[in-house]
């Protein structure tokens, strides 16, 4: 219960441990990440990757799947990060970190983008955490801020009823309980015998690839 309360207070994600499902690993050529600034804490930055795939959605999905087996710990603690390209150690993180890390693999730093948009438009972002100003250490690691940013960038997809309306690399946000929310990425692979894709997410047991699209009430559907 303590872990769940911490997760709600800081990030808005849940920490229920899901049942593991089959995982297909993707081999991707790693490229050395840029070094953090001298004032940054001494945390290793996740490896940035160059992915050969024809569509941006496929590249996002592959980059998310590459986190399976690497991020094995759910850790919602507030930590001071480098800026830009700041991250917690790659073996730990929360649901939002799956999205942030996947987007960095395609050259999009959501830490910077969310922070800059919040600096200009702080009033339109959620105040669930009692913030009075943007914080580059944590804002991009909160589900509600990510979904608000995607909405503001015109990335929302209205179709959520049919399984086939979800495509690889899409971002899905769910409501769990109260104002707690969760977020994940649609994988490249269908669940056998269905039109539904596996999801890649971290809800308490590290980054997993699972059949859980319909496990919770869908709040938002976004496509970069």
Instruction: Tell me which range, 29-33, 35-39, 178-182, 200-204, is most confidently predicted by mean pLDDT.
Output: 200-204
For 71-141, where are the alpha helices, taking DSSP H only? 95-105, 110-121
The mean pLDDT of 136-159, rounded to a whole number, is: 97
Average pLDDT, rounded, for the chain: 84
**pLDDT attached to residue 21:** 38
Q: What is the CA radius of gyration of the chain?
A: 16
| Number of C-beta neighbours around residue 83 at 10 A | 16
Q: Which two tokens stand for residue 17?
A: 């441990």
- Averaged pLDDT for residues 84-103: 98
The predicted structure's pLDDT at residue 177: 85
- Model-level pTM? 0.79
What pLDDT does residue 52 have?
A: 54
Which contiguous run of DSSP H or E holds residue 186?
Answer: strand 181-190
User: Measuring CA to CA, which residue among 5, 76, 96, 81 is closest to residue 43?
Assistant: 81
- Residue 22's Cα: distance from chain center in Å? 20
Burial 32-42 (b: 16+ CB within 10 A, else e): ebeebeeebee
Name all domains of the chain by residue range, CATH numbers in brackets: 2-18+37-222 (3.90.1720.10)
Mean pLDDT of 45-61: 69
């Amino acid at each position: 219960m303590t872990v769940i309360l911490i997760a709600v207070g800081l990030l808005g994600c849940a920490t229920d441990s899901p049942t593991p499902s089959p995982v297909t690993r993707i081999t991707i050529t790693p490229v050395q990440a840029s070094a953090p600034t001298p004032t940054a804490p001494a945390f290793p930055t996740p490896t940035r990757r160059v992915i050969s795939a024809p569509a941006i959605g496929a590249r996002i999905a592959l980059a998310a799947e590459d986190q399976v087996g690497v991020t094995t710990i759910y850790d919602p603690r507030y930590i001071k990060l480098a800026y830009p390209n700041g991250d917690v150690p790659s073996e730990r993180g929360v649901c939002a970190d799956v999205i942030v890390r996947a987007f960095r693999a395609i050259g999009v730093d959501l830490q910077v983008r969310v922070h800059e948009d919040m600096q200009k438009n702080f009033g339109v972002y959620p105040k669930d955490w009692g913030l009075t100003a943007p914080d580059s250490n944590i804002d991009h690691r909160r589900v509600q801020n990510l979904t608000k940013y995607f909405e503001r960038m015109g990335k929302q997809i209205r179709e959520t009823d049919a399984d086939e309306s979800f495509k690889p690399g899409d971002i899905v946000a769910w409501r769990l309980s109260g104002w707690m929310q969760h977020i994940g990425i649609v994988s490249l692979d269908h669940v056998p015998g269905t039109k539904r894709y596996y999801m890649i997410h971290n809800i308490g047991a590290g980054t997993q690839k699972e059949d859980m699209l319909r496990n919770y009430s869908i709040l938002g559907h976004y496509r970069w």
